[in-house]
Amino acid sequence: MNDNPSRVEDSISVFTNEPMDLEQIKLTLAVMQLDAADRAVIRVADQRDAMQKRAFTIWVNKHLSQHGLLVNDLFRDFQSGHLLIKLIEILSGQNLSIEYGLTRVHCIQNVERVLEFLRFRKV
């Protein structure tokens, strides 16, 4: 890792190849103005988040792979709620209905079903 302040993009993961909205640009500029110690804290937090995401992805895939399903990116693959419902069905042994549309409303309904299922079972 490079701690050279002139090369902030090497040490923090706020820079991506994806287009950024105005809030992301403001955050990026704010991070660039931090001192080296603060950037190091952000870097460690980003690394910890990435490790947790990888560990959870492995755990999820352990369960989903038994049914021929896999996730590559938790955030994107769970966004529609389809795989999230499948995971809950596998873990609980109970069936939940799935909205197969891909509109925002369908995705929200799927995730809401999972949350309601967990809430009802006090998980």
Same domain, 50 and 100: no
Of the residues 24, 39, 69, the one at which a domain ends: 69
The arithmetic mean of pLDDT across residues 16-21, rounded, is 65
Q: Domain count of the chain?
A: 2
* Boundary (domain end) residue, out of 69, 86, 107: 69
Indicate whether 88 and 38 sit together in one domain: no
Q: Is 3 a residue whose pLDDT tops 50?
A: no
Residue that wins the pLDDT comparison between 37 and 122: 122
Boundary-marking domain end, from 45, 69, 93: 69
**Which long-range contacts does 60-67 make (Cβ < 8 Å, 24+ apart)?**
60/87, 63/87, 63/90, 63/91, 64/90, 66/90
Confidence check: pLDDT of 46 > 90:
no
Question: What CATH number is attached to the domain comprising 88?
Answer: 1.10.418.10
Co-location of 53 and 110 in the same domain? no
**Statement to judge: residues 88 and 123 lie in one domain:** yes
Same domain, 6 and 52: yes
Range of the structural domain that residue 34 is part of:
1-69
* CA 92/CA 89 separation, integer angstroms: 5
pLDDT band for 119, please (50, 70, 90 cuts): very high
65 plus 98 within the same structural domain: no
Q: pLDDT of 48-92, one tens digit each?
A: 988 999 999 999 999 999 999 999 999 899 999 999 999 999 999
Residues 40 and 96 in one domain: no
